[in-house]
Amino acid sequence: MSSDQSATRRRLERMDDLVSLCARRGFIFPSSEIYGGINGFWDYGPLGAELKQNLKNLWWQRVVRERPDVEGIDSAIIAHPRTWEASGHVEHFSDPMVDCRACKKRFRADQLEDAPPCSAREGTSEHDFTEPRSFNLMLQTRIGASEDAASTAYLRAETCQPIFNDFKRVREAARQKIPFGIAQIGKAFRNEINPRNFTFRSREFEQAEMEFFVHPSEREQWFAHWQAERLAFHRELGFDDEHLRTRPHAEDELAHYARAAVDVEYLFPFGWQEIEGVHDRGDWDLSRHGEYSGKDLGITDPDTKEHYVPMVIETSVGVDRTVLALLCDAYTEEDLGDGDTRLVMRFPVALAPVQVAVLPLSKKLAEPAHVLERELRRRFNVFYDDAGNIGRRYRRQDEAGTPFCVTLDFDTAEDGKVTLRDRDSMRQERIALEGVSARLAERLAA
Ligand code: GAP
pLDDT (tens digit per residue) in 21-42? 999 999 999 999 999 999 999 9
Instruction: Using alpha carbons, select from 233, 150, 203 the residue that is nearest to residue 37.
Output: 203
89 CA to centre of ligand 1 in angstroms = 14
Tell how strand 340-345 and strand 331-337 pair up: antiparallel
How far is it, in rounded angstroms, from Cα 385 to Cα 382?
10
Name the closest-CA residue to atom 20, ligand 1.
201
Q: SS3 breakdown of the chain: % helix, strand, coil, rounded to 5?
A: 35, 30, 35
Who has greater pLDDT, 431 or 114?
Answer: 431
CA 263 to ligand 1: nearest atom: 14
Confidence at 4, pLDDT banded by 50, 70, 90? low
At residue 411, the 3 state secondary structure works out as: coil
Asked if the bond preceding 310 is cis, omega within 30° of 0, the reply is no
Average pLDDT (410-437) is: 95
Confidence at 114, pLDDT banded by 50, 70, 90? confident
- What's the angle, vertex CA 222, arms to CA 221 and CA 228, rounded to 5? 95
Instruction: Using alpha carbons, select from 243, 238, 94 the residue that is nearest to residue 157.
Output: 94
Would you call 106 exposed, middle or buried from its count of C-beta atoms within 10 A (0-12, 13-18, 19+)? middle
How far is it, in rounded angstroms, from Cα 227 to Cα 263?
9
Q: What is the pLDDT of residues 44-60, one digit of tens each?
A: 999 999 999 999 999 99
Q: What is the pLDDT of residues 298-330, one digit of tens each?
A: 999 999 999 999 999 999 999 999 999 999 999
pLDDT (0 to 100) of residue 145: 79
Cα separations (Å) of 43 from 30, 33, 158, 191, 433? 6, 9, 20, 17, 38
How far is it, in rounded angstroms, from Cα 187 to Cα 382?
28
For the chain, what percent of residues have pLDDT higher than 70?
Answer: 98
Instruction: Using alpha carbons, select from 245, 307, 301, 311 the residue that is nearest to residue 276.
Output: 245
Instruction: Using alpha carbons, select from 378, 427, 374 the residue that is nearest to residue 405.
Output: 427
Average pLDDT (284-299) is: 97
262 CA to centre of ligand 1 in angstroms = 13
**Residues with C-beta less than 6 Å from any ligand 1 atom:** 158, 160, 190, 192, 201-202, 205, 207, 209, 274-277, 314, 316-318, 320-321
Q: What is the pLDDT of residues 319-363, one digit of tens each?
A: 999 999 999 999 999 999 888 999 999 999 999 999 999 999 999
How far is it, in rounded angstroms, from Cα 178 to Cα 278?
19
277 CA to centre of ligand 1 in angstroms = 8
- In one letter, which amino acid is 327? L
